[in-house]
């Protein structure tokens, strides 16, 4: 007899009996001035795509056009990403955030899932301020925030290693560090990219749970 085990966050939820699994779409809306944060965004997208039933939609927010807004409208979840510039999100990302005010007024992203990631040159570099700003943006839109969900790695204990997941010890979202003298072909490093991958998979699993829960609630309401 197989050993009983406690369900974990990594378990993909089953579809309701008799129902085809509902696919979910997770958009990654990011800016990257020089390509480093773009690599982090790609790792988030790979994490989303690693979850059966979830599909990533990678969107650069430099160009604000109808196609971008339609893609974000169609998504079940939006993972926002920006480099940390001057201790905050980049001006290009903030331009996107401000342009979303028309959607804010119409409550277009209400109840979608949201999460965030940032990358900067400093180990700290005030990345938390960029993530906070992204979380506030999500709150303004009435979205449900998905945190990173990892314990801190690396120097949190004396025996830690920089290869560990979440080596930068973020809680709100995924952090990455790219030394300023290295190109995006060499940085961010592998552990930061794995952390970004983790965030994408976590958002995808949460989106699936929410979609299935919504279906179950609709069935219950119909049967009442
Ligand atoms: C205008 C500007 C401001 C920056 N401010 C910070 C900062 O506040 N903290 C930090 O750690 N790095 C800072 N950096 C470094 C970038 O965050 C870092 O180079 C990052 O990898 C750039 O990502 P990107 O290639 O996606 O644009 C700054 C870079 C620029 C160009």
Domain count, the chain: 1
Closest residue by Cα to atom 29, ligand 1, is 85
- Asked if residue 132 lies in contact with residue 156, where contact means CB atoms within 8 angstroms, the answer is no
Domain assignment of residue 59, yes or no: yes
Global pTM value? 0.91
Domain assignment of residue 53, yes or no: yes
Kindly indicate whether the ipTM for this predicted assembly is greater than 0.85, answering yes or no.
yes
Q: Is 183 in the pocket of ligand 1 (CB under 6 A)?
A: no
Taking only the tens place, the pLDDT of each residue in 16-60 is 555 555 799 999 999 999 999 999 999 999 999 999 999 999 999
CA of 97 to the centre of ligand 1 (A): 19
Domain assignment of residue 1, yes or no: no
Q: How confident is the model over 66-71, as a mean pLDDT?
A: 98
Closest residue by Cα to atom 3, ligand 1, is 85
Q: How confident is the model over 102-110, as a mean pLDDT?
A: 98
Q: Is 36 in the pocket of ligand 1 (CB under 6 A)?
A: yes
Assign residue 75 the CATH number of its domain: 3.40.50.360
Domain assignment of residue 141, yes or no: yes
- Asked if residue 173 lies in contact with residue 134, where contact means CB atoms within 8 angstroms, the answer is yes
Domain range for residue 123?
Answer: 24-223
Domain assignment of residue 12, yes or no: no
Q: Is 195 in the pocket of ligand 1 (CB under 6 A)?
A: no
Strand partners, 113: 77, 144
Q: Is 83 in the pocket of ligand 1 (CB under 6 A)?
A: yes
pLDDT in the model for residue 154? 84
Q: Does residue 2 surpass a pLDDT of 50? A: no
Domain assignment of residue 61, yes or no: yes
Atom of ligand 1 nearest to the CA of 35: 25
pLDDT in the model for residue 21? 59
Domain assignment of residue 8, yes or no: no
Domain assignment of residue 179, yes or no: yes
Q: Is 32 in the pocket of ligand 1 (CB under 6 A)?
A: yes
């Amino acid at each position: 007899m197989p050993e009983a085990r406690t369900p974990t966050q990594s378990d993909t939820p089953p579809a309701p009996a008799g129902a085809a699994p509902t696919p979910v779409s997770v958009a990654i809306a990011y800016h990257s001035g020089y390509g480093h944060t773009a690599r982090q965004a790609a790792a988030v997208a790979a994490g989303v795509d690693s979850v059966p039933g979830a599909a990533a939609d990678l969107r650069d927010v430099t160009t604000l056009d109808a196609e971008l807004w339609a893609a974000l409208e169609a998504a079940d979840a939006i993972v926002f990403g920006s480099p940390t510039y001057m201790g905050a999100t980049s001006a290009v990302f903030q331009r996107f955030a401000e342009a979303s005010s028309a959607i804010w007024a119409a409550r277009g992203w209400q109840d979608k899932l949201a999460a965030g990631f940032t990358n900067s040159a400093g180990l700290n570099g005030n990345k938390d301020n960029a993530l906070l700003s992204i979380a506030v943006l999500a709150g303004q839109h009435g979205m449900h925030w998905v945190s990173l969900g990892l314990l801190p790695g690396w120097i949190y204990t004396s025996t830690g290693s920089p290869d560990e997941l979440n080596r930068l010890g973020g809680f709100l979202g995924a952090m990455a560090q790219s030394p300023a003298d290295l190109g995006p072909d060499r940085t961010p490093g592998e552990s930061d990219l794995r952390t970004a991958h983790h965030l994408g998979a976590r958002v995808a699993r949460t989106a699936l749970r929410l979609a299935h829960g919504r279906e179950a609630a609709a069935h219950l309401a119909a049967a009442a």
